[in-house]
Structure 1
Amino acid sequence: MSASVESRVISIGALHFDTIAHASLPIRPETSTPARHSSKPGGVATNIARALVKLGIETGLVGALGEDGPAHTLLSQLTAEGIKLSHQVRKGFSTGQYLALHDPDGELAAACVDDKILSEAPPGLFDRIIAELKSSLPHGTIWFLDANLPEAMLHRIIETIGKGRLIANAVSNAKAPRLKAVLGKLDCLMLNRGEAIALTGLAEESTAERLVDALHNMGLKNLVLTSGSSDVLLLESGSLTRFSPPPVDVVDVTGAGDALTAGTIAALANGKALKEAVPYGLSAAAMTLQNTGALAQGLSWDAIENF
């Protein structure tokens, strides 16, 4: 899997307004906990787009917004960051919002999401946008899809794109199965252990190698599988490669998986083969783990190349 340096990326999926609380004490459900709050753009497709722009990759973001304060905030900030935003306004729907509660060690204690604006959207919501983008984009464009997109919409988008380089992220255990019917059409799927179990239906105790084999048998040609701090497995054209994540002091786990995806895609867009690209993704993920929020301070192509 390789790319030309002229490649662009179009990221399609969740466009959220995130509120993150970092507690100073372990969170208990029956009482309030002192915490530091921050608000910023979020959603997997948005996180990927923001990181890619930081990594020097010209990137477009396709998503849905309501007619509310969070929508105006997102439009202003994302445009200022250099993202080419193509959005569909859905009247009567609130802009997607995500609330996360983190314990002092950075681990996620609880999270809630309101994503009806996308999860209840008609399959053809982005037809016009994607058709217009496709007609103007160069050969070699990378299309990124997140599994926040409803199953019928995933089918529709892939059909509209036609021939193209498709990379997807499984997002969560609950949403990963939405990708089952399109696995054979993807150039690469990025996912974690829980999402692989949800996709394959295998037992919780299944080895990572067993999960990779099952996904390959389901039609996936290439995949990148993470298992927490354990080795990352790359399946590429039937060959399995292991990568050890660099050891870091974890401040916040938010966005580490998205950073892995973004760093890998950036390397592909810069002409790297998939096997060469994954270490760039691991560097981006490590930088993100050392920071608060989904976008690491100081993230750049030079930073992950020299991490």
Structure 2
Amino acid sequence: MDTVVIGQVARDLALRVERMPGSGEAADVRERIEVLGGKGANQAVGLAQLGVRSALLGVVGDDPAATEVLDRAVADGIDVGAVVHRSGTRTGLIVDVVDAEGTWRYLQDLPPEVLLTADDVAAAKSVLTRARTVVVQLQQPLDAVCAAADIARRGGATVVLDGAPPDPSASADLLAMTDVLRADDTEAALWADAEIGSAAEAVRTARSLLGRGPRMVVLGAGSEGNVVVWPDGEAVLPLGDADVVDTTGAGDAFTAGIVAALDRGPEEAARWGSAAAGLTVGHVGGRPRLSVDAVRRALVPVSGNPHSCR
């Protein structure tokens, strides 16, 4: 198996309306999409679409929805053998309502039981140790996150962390087990314990995180796009010119693009991530619609001094 993605698995219901209804009002739905969703599943789907063999480690319930989402994952080419079926609980549901201006509201039914435990991760050890890359979504509980990163690192896999630390006190331990860190604007501020207002500040933050373990850090930099930093270089990736319909799932596509292109080097991997995110904001819902050819056509130029040693 090339990549194992550890994270959320859920039903995803995306609804497009002309405007958000106020209290006591109703709104007609202009578009409705029901798909496999959740951040972990979205990343696994994106990887599969980019030709990367991927497996998923997450939790579903014992209801009919579990069968539906896992059947969809299998149809997408994802290995679901490690997915945990939790007895006595319902599969997670995420409702994404987005209006004509691209403003969204989420409604989430994610019972605590659909979160991974350290025991769940330990039971999947054989899957994790066979993977070349393990992507760990940091929305999961800290003990599960740490167990996954530790098993993957000991097994020789490249460890990719996505998101913000579930407990700031564990940041140092997590970074020491990480090869690649990717965080959006809000998550980057949590890693920095301060707001990041510019690409220059994002680069400084990324370089400080780089010194604590990772060999590549990609952070959101607000309206200036994203930055990528590695030991002997850095680059700024401006936002593309895609028409934004719904930003849901853009970060998941970004991570999938990075992982799919890791063998191409840090700068190119970040460009793939940025292009994949740009392709995802143009439609309703978090499910990516990627292909290698589409990503290549959407690659954006970088700025800065990507090949200078520091």
Matched, 1:96 2:83: no
Structure 1: runs of 5 or more not aligned = 1-6
The one of 50, 59, 72 aligned to 1:64: 59
Matched, 1:158 2:158: no
Superposed counterparts of 1:1-307, under 5 Å:
8-35=2-29, 36-85=31-80, 86-119=82-115, 121-129=116-124, 131-134=125-128, 137=130, 141-161=132-152, 162=154, 163-170=156-163, 175=166, 177=168, 180=171, 181-203=173-195, 207-216=201-210, 218-237=212-231, 239-268=233-262, 271-297=263-289, 299-307=290-298
Contact kept? 2:244, 2:281, Cα under 8 Å: yes
Determine the C-alpha separation between the residues in 1 that align with 2:140 and 2:267: 27
Determine the C-alpha separation between the residues in 2 that align with 1:16 and 1:111: 12
Cα 1:189/1:27, change in 2 over 3 Å: farther
Deviation at 1:174, TM superposition (A): 8.4
Deviation at 1:82, TM superposition (A): 0.9
Determine the C-alpha separation between the residues in 2 that align with 1:31 and 1:178: 44
Deviation at 1:213, TM superposition (A): 4.5
> What secondary structure does 1:83 align onto?
coil
Determine the C-alpha separation between the residues in 2 that align with 1:147 and 1:73: 25
In the TM superposition, structure 1's runs of 4+ consecutive aligned residues that sit over 6 Å from their partners are none
Determine the C-alpha separation between the residues in 1 that align with 2:235 and 2:175: 20
Deviation at 1:8, TM superposition (A): 0.8
TM-score between the two structures when normalised by the length of structure 1: 0.86
Contact kept? 2:280, 2:288, Cα under 8 Å: yes
Determine the C-alpha separation between the residues in 2 that align with 1:54 and 1:265: 12
> What secondary structure does 1:252 align onto?
coil
Cα 1:146/1:211, change in 2 over 3 Å: same
Cα 1:152/1:279, change in 2 over 3 Å: same
Cα 1:27/1:187, change in 2 over 3 Å: farther
**Equivalent AA in structure 2 for residue 40 of structure 1:** V
Which deviates the most, 150-159 or 194-203? 194-203
Cα 1:168/1:115, change in 2 over 3 Å: farther
Cα 1:262/1:205, change in 2 over 3 Å: closer
Deviations, residues 236-278 of structure 1 (Å, cap 9, x unaligned) = 126331111221111111111111111111112xx31121111
Aligned residues: 291
TM-score between the two structures when normalised by the length of structure 2: 0.85
Deviation at 1:210, TM superposition (A): 4.5
> What secondary structure does 1:84 align onto?
coil
